[in-house]
Amino acid sequence: MRILYYCPEYYSRHGGRTHARGFYHALEKLPSVSRCFLYPKSSPHADSESGQAGTRRTGKLWFLPSAPRRIIRFFKPRRRLARTLINEIKEHECDAIVIRTGVRLPAIRDIKKACPEVQVCLEINSAHFDESFIGLPLRGMFQKWEVSRFNQADALVVVSSYLKEYLEARAVSPEKILVNQNGVDESLISLSGVPDLRAHYGFPDDAFVIGYIGGMESFRRLPEVVAYVAEIRRTGNRDIRLLIVGDGAERSAVQAAVQAEGDDFGDAVVLAGWRDHNEIPAFLKTFDLAIFPFTNEYCSPLKLFEYLGAGLPTIGPDTSAVREVFQDGVHLKLIKQDGSNFVSSILELKNDHRLRSGMAQKGQELVLREYTWKKNAERVVAHIQGRSKQVLHSLRQTVR
């Protein structure tokens, strides 16, 4: 099988890049894939994935308010992009194209019309109208519109059963949909021989370091995390340090939350900013407890897989997407999304080394056995091949 992978996030500066690169390089190594090709071939100059494009008075729609302008650009058929991908498919004689959905979704009908034998598979990691267009009037109508575009593809791959049910409720056939959570690259999370960063950040050797790696979007609720950790320190746990790795729209709010707790707490917190993925093992090596406590219901947090794959005791969000993979108290500790057990969970794990190490071991075993990028890519290819056979069978039945 020859596969084209369309994924602008391959060049991004957020978690999508880790997913894109892990998945693509796993595809390259599969025996069932004779060749795979990446598009764009270099960093796109006009990628609008951040949602910031079109905020200035440029383009034909500059006079419209921001929300309508974004919606029109979101749904505008990208036929030029589709023509480019069609040319790539024909040049490389591809059997399938995997498209990571985002703002720049090509016109799928155009691809299917030009290349009817080619299987079109969409990666869907989020529901844009649950994340980017919250509070939008007629939101339900736009959601159906979005899903109707997805339904033009032959196969869909989602990161959680929540998203599968979301699509099924909007008339997508269950046979089209594969639930395929995130994965890890074992070589990039190996901590063997990696030095930690305690001395670099001035942490005492006996400090208990709580670490977070990820974006600073509002739904991560990091200012709340800061307040909870400050509360724990005030109750006598002065050895706790907080190390946050990442960047995003809420960075200033996180900084304000740290400052609000006073200079003494500020000395115990490090905001390390955005770091390249090859730097992450050193941060993982520094953490005594890795946390990712809050997120959207449908999200399959990539960092949970990396924390656990690296063998770290981990705190995650108590959401359906996480519970379908990991067991609370077995692989990790889950935090209720009202935050009511955050403080008690931190203290329980801090004070029980045996519990921490036992969960870390079981979590690592599960991730490295079932959730590597190799396993992830194998499931996607098998799903595409299965859908191809189903479509061919349906065509034969129609001819009869």
| DSSP string covering 54-114 | T-SS-STTTTS-HHHHHHHHHHS-BHHHHHHHHHHHHHHT-SEEEEE-SS--B-HHHHHHH
pLDDT at 378: 97
Neighbours of 290 (CB within 10 A): 26
pLDDT at 43: 79
Instruction: Return the domain boundaries, the chain.
Output: 2-183+374-399, 186-370
Q: Which residues contact 393 (CB under 8 A, 6 or more apart)?
A: none
Decide if 2-183+374-399 and 186-370 have a common fold: yes
Low-confidence residues in the chain, pLDDT < 70: 44-71, 73-75, 103, 127-139, 391-400
Domain 186-370's class? alpha beta
Give the model confidence (pLDDT) of 128-177 as tens digits: 656 555 566 666 777 788 888 899 999 999 999 999 999 999 999 999 99
pLDDT at 70: 66
d(CA 275, CA 399) in angstroms, rounded, equals 56
> What is the pTM for the complete model shown?
0.87
d(CA 364, CA 62) in angstroms, rounded, equals 50
pLDDT at 320: 93
Q: Name the region of 302 (left: φ>0; alpha: ψ -120 to 50; beta: rest).
A: alpha
d(CA 225, CA 207) in angstroms, rounded, equals 18
In the CATH scheme, what architecture does the domain 2-183+374-399 have?
A: 3-Layer(aba) Sandwich (3.40)
Report whether 153 contacts 108 (CB < 8 A).
Answer: yes
pLDDT at 128: 63
pLDDT at 269: 97
Percent of the chain with pLDDT over 90: 73
The mean of the pLDDT values for the chain is 89
pLDDT at 243: 98
pLDDT at 302: 93
Q: Kindly state the tokens that stand for 209.
A: 């370091």
pLDDT at 247: 93
